[in-house]
Structure 1
């Protein structure tokens, strides 16, 4: 994550959850992930999940009741602080571990801690690595997925969701005032498939997961939100043999 990204997300952390588009995109992503994960609760409840770029933990907390554990990682201190505040509630999930880190090493000791037992597990790996609305902020996707591949157990999966780059209009997903830290206007199907395969994943599948309708600026840079547009989101999945 660049300094521009960190600054933006630290500044927006307190109001992040109040954005209805973010809430809706997370609900739809959660539904998409569940449709691609084992449908048998007994199997899914054994899964350890790594959520990269977890933000305030909306997706992590949505997944937590269905799985054994969620390790929630984000480089923005403000976002992790917001998640930590949620986890102080009496009825909060006890199987979510928030970590403020720029994860670049699968053997990073910070993700070796088991959220359930709180014990360090050398060489800890995950059944599934998820990431939602993060890829368009990452300059070097190949470096990212090399790290992700190392974090996945043999037989495990990567599943990531982000909006699709369907042409010049995809730029409208962000107001012009929030372009700092945006490295690409959505993800390209062929590009992400190639990146996942080059990282070592097999059985790579790129599918439309859902569509999000959101307001866009009436004119680029005007700051005035008016018409709505429909943005397709992709779910990108691969398996580590």
Structure 2
């Protein structure tokens, strides 16, 4: 996974404690979860899946998916985010099928991924049925190495499924207030570009489609810090492929 700028990691460490209190983040994660479930196998098959949630944050998507699957390995480069995830996990009665991992992944064979969240056993070169990631891609400097790594993390026949807002032109920049542009590497993802990256990584049956749309309060004047009730509609893409 391409290394995020230090400022990005610092920002998310600082925001981790209050992350779950953001209504837009909560709503967007709920919509992503619904999108994934609508495209995944029926419950009897899905219940056997071992999933990797890449850039999991505080585990909002992780904990929505966990009841439907065998296990979720939740990975984030922000130690603060993983600390919040683990606090929530420890408050739940055992048994657990979630494992929080603080790591920057660059190697599919990284031993930090070898642990089974359900049994605790270690399996070298552990592979996953599905890799998901939500609202992460726009923070990553270079996407081709990320999808090459994801391809290596999947079993044969495994799938990648990621969601992020779409770069639909200059106005997509307004998704973030100017005060939070540090660590934003792109203003959404472009359909043709992400399709090409997935195909070049080796994925087949690639699909890039509009998953849902959301209204978001944006700055009336860039840099003002004031929204004044201004709302913009942002389309979110779901990008998927099969190994």
Residue matched to 1:204: 206
Q: Following superposition, which runs of at least 4 residues in structure 1 exceed 4 angstroms of deviation?
A: none
Residues 1:112 and 2:95 are matched in the alignment: no
- Which runs of 5 or more structure 1 residues have no equivalent in the other structure? none
Secondary structure in structure 1 of the residue aligned to 2:90: coil
Residue matched to 1:14: 17
Distance in 1, matches of 2:48 and 2:122, equals 18
Residue matched to 2:136: 134
TM-score scaled by length of structure 2: 0.97
Distance in 2, matches of 1:92 and 1:239, equals 33
Secondary structure in structure 2 of the residue aligned to 1:50: strand
Say whether the 8 Å CA contact 1:51–1:71 is kept in structure 2.
yes
Q: Report Cα offsets for 1:140-182 as digits up to 9, x if no partner.
A: 1001111110001100000000000000110000000000000
Residue matched to 2:6: 3
Superposition deviation, residue 92 in structure 1: 6.8
Distance in 2, matches of 1:238 and 1:90, equals 33
Residue matched to 2:73: 71
Distance in 2, matches of 1:41 and 1:194, equals 31
Distance in 2, matches of 1:160 and 1:215, equals 23
Q: Where does 1:166-185 land on structure 2 (aligned, <5 Å)?
A: 166-185=168-187
Distance in 2, matches of 1:183 and 1:4, equals 12
RMSD of aligned Cα (Å) = 0.9
Superposition deviation, residue 90 in structure 1: 3.4
Residue matched to 1:219: 221
